[in-house]
Structure 1
Amino acid sequence: MNAALTVVVPTFNRVDLLRECLQSIREQSMRPAETIVVDDGSTEDVAGFISREFSEVRLVRMDKNGGFCRAANAGFRAATSEFIFLLNNDMTLDHDCIEHLMRGADARTLRTPLVLFKSDPDTIYCAGDRILTNGRPEPIGFRKPLAGSTMPARVFGVTFGAALIPHAALRRVGYLDEKFVAYFEDADFCMRARWAGLDCMLVPEAVAYHVGSASLGGKTSRRSMLCYRNHALLVAKNFPLAVILRFLPALVLERWHQAGMMLSSARAERGAIGALAVLLAGTNSLLATMAHAIRGRSHLRSRAITNREFIALLTRPDERQ
């Protein structure tokens, strides 16, 4: 057992997925000191399920469904270990995943396992995250065959679907920004961590498997609206003015791309009138978060790296492999 580690699993319903996730934690070669499940206002009997099948798991219950960020933060507050392994409920782990992640772990580095598609474990879901110069976060290696792929040791960020986070990093950077609700919240955290001088790395020997898009029930328009809003929030909070001006054309094009994705998915689900309603809702939500974004730039006043060093961490779209 590893007394330095707490696993935190936020969940909203989906006991079927949670069962497999918790079983894979139970079977780890290096078991954590504790596992915390944060029940994010589920309508399913998550508490009864935990009591019957995983009595060793500690349950934190939210009063209502508030989204991934709020649930994850509740888990962070409840955790007492030196390291926290944040895990989606639709993830399962190879039996030695935690052992590999913890080997050499330090207080200044966020770590992530290699994540494969559960339905096709020969295909990469995520090998760490990158941030493009247009502000878009992307999973590295998404849908590429595992065979022959080169794994990057250092990455811009880690996916919070499976992330080893030092408690010291939370104390320095703060918790997840709950305005994001879901999507890009990990990119925001990793940007703040990078500005604070922290590092991020992929541990390819540690392997996890992801179902994908299960947490929001596959609702594409909802996901696209959050991405549309959160991309702007991400850039407004974390790009200094000089960086925004340098990449302004690419940033504007990405705003159009995000709007197009949101409208396309909304039209497919709700028709033309429904798509217009989603556009208005997304725009209103975006405008409502801008004051928060401006306030959130305060961390840039005490940054540990220069603009030049930050830009060097970004990836141009034509540099993607």
Structure 2
Amino acid sequence: MSNHKTPPSLAIVVLNYNGLSLLKQYLPTLLQYSDGYKVILVDNASTDGSVAYVQRQFPEVSCIVHNTNYGVAKGYNLALKQIHTTYYLLLNNDVLVTAYWLQDMLSLMQQNKGIALCQPKILSMQNPDYFDYAGAAGGFIDKDGYPFCRGRIFNSIEKDRGQYNDTRTIFWASGACLLVRAQAFHTLGGFDELFFAHFEEIDLCLRAHAMGWKVYYCGTSTVYHCGGATLTYTNPKKTYLNFRNRALMLYKHKHMIGVPKRLFLDFIAMFSIFFMGKTKDAWAICKAQIDFFKMKKNYQAQHHACSLPNVYTKSILVDFFVKRKKLFCELSSNAFTYLVMV
């Protein structure tokens, strides 16, 4: 009798939009460390020759080409319906993978069938000793719906000293490098396509928790993220999408925070940014509120009873800006608990 184990069915799916320079930089390393798993490029109607380059230089990479830029959410949803596998590894085109980056995450998912999503340790490409803004060592959310990470609270980013080399449950996993159980993804209905981009993975993780799935961080897997390659962190469009999509996510789950309180907090942010001289970002927040009220009719607020784990039941705004707590370890560990929603 053979002891050979059939490797799990997995596809590495890279979403791309006019990322030719990024593909040239990061795709060769991905193929080197892909462990023989299929790599699929999903292209959102790029005009920079991305698809032709990949087809010419890397014929082993399959390409799914959309006829328009569907964004992250719909771009992935349409493609993943065509990919039949047990696991998807969703990867930004600006991520540098490392040797053995995939094995520990995949083993974790195989050993625990209740895990829907998992992310690795994500470090900064520009500052490799520091965590990356997008995901760091696993994401959390406070009682008012503000996301933050182990290793990154707002714009305060920690140095990687091995303090997050553990494996543990988290609230949300980063879409920059996201291992997803296909069954869970499709059961949950995939990403919310109205989001286009930003917050779509946090929304997916929230819905996964509500359905009883788990979300994990695997600190023994490491990748490096360039960050802001498609949309820079200072781009007002990013500000707009973050504020609009956070508002939509919280509206769908009204038991987290009501519209009046969220509006109050967002307008404080808008006026603060305005008086800092960032008028385009302030207008982006204002426009996000206008479009939220236009779009909320597409949703019916969810009122089913459930409990969300790993919610920070204090205000991260107060802790960071008033109490000056800049490190994750400075937050009260007892405040991370279940938020019961009825």
Rate the CA distance shift 1:97–1:288 in 2: closer, same or farther, 3 A: same
Aligned residue runs from structure 1 range 1-321, under 5 A: 2-28=7-33, 30-32=35-37, 34-106=38-110, 107-109=113-115, 110-125=117-132, 126-142=136-152, 143-151=157-165, 153-218=168-233, 220-240=235-255, 243-244=256-257, 251-252=262-263, 254-260=265-271, 263=274, 268=278, 278=284, 281-292=287-298, 294-295=299-300, 297-298=301-302, 300-301=303-304, 306=306, 309-310=307-308, 313-316=311-314, 317=316, 318=319, 320-321=328-329
Q: Which structure 2 residue ranges, 5 or more long, are not aligned?
A: 1-5, 320-324, 330-342
Rate the CA distance shift 1:50–1:231 in 2: closer, same or farther, 3 A: same
Alpha-carbon distance between aligned partners in 1 of 2:233 and 2:25, rounded to the nearest angstrom: 19
Q: In structure 1, the residue corresponding to 2:81 is in which secondary structure? A: helix
Give the CA deviation at 1:133. 1.2
Q: In structure 2, the residue corresponding to 1:78 is in which secondary structure? A: coil
Higher helix content, 1 or 2: 1
- The percent identity for this pair of structures is 22
Rate the CA distance shift 1:104–1:285 in 2: closer, same or farther, 3 A: same
Rate the CA distance shift 1:192–1:276 in 2: closer, same or farther, 3 A: closer
Indicate conservation of the 8 Å contact 1:128/1:159, yes or no: yes
Indicate conservation of the 8 Å contact 1:137/1:184, yes or no: no
Alpha-carbon distance between aligned partners in 2 of 1:183 and 1:260, rounded to the nearest angstrom: 22
TM-score (norm 2): 0.80
Q: Which structure 1 residue ranges, 5 or more long, are not aligned?
A: none
Deviations 1:1-56 (A, max 9, x none): 94511111111112121233322221116231x11111111111112111111111
Give the CA deviation at 1:275. 6.4
Q: In structure 2, the residue corresponding to 1:103 is in which secondary structure? A: helix
- Between 281-290 and 89-98, the greater mean CA deviation after superposition: 281-290
Q: In structure 1, the residue corresponding to 2:223 is in which secondary structure? A: strand
Report how many residues are paired: 303
Indicate conservation of the 8 Å contact 1:176/1:186, yes or no: yes
Rate the CA distance shift 1:21–1:79 in 2: closer, same or farther, 3 A: farther
Alpha-carbon distance between aligned partners in 2 of 1:275 and 1:156, rounded to the nearest angstrom: 28
Alpha-carbon distance between aligned partners in 2 of 1:127 and 1:117, rounded to the nearest angstrom: 12
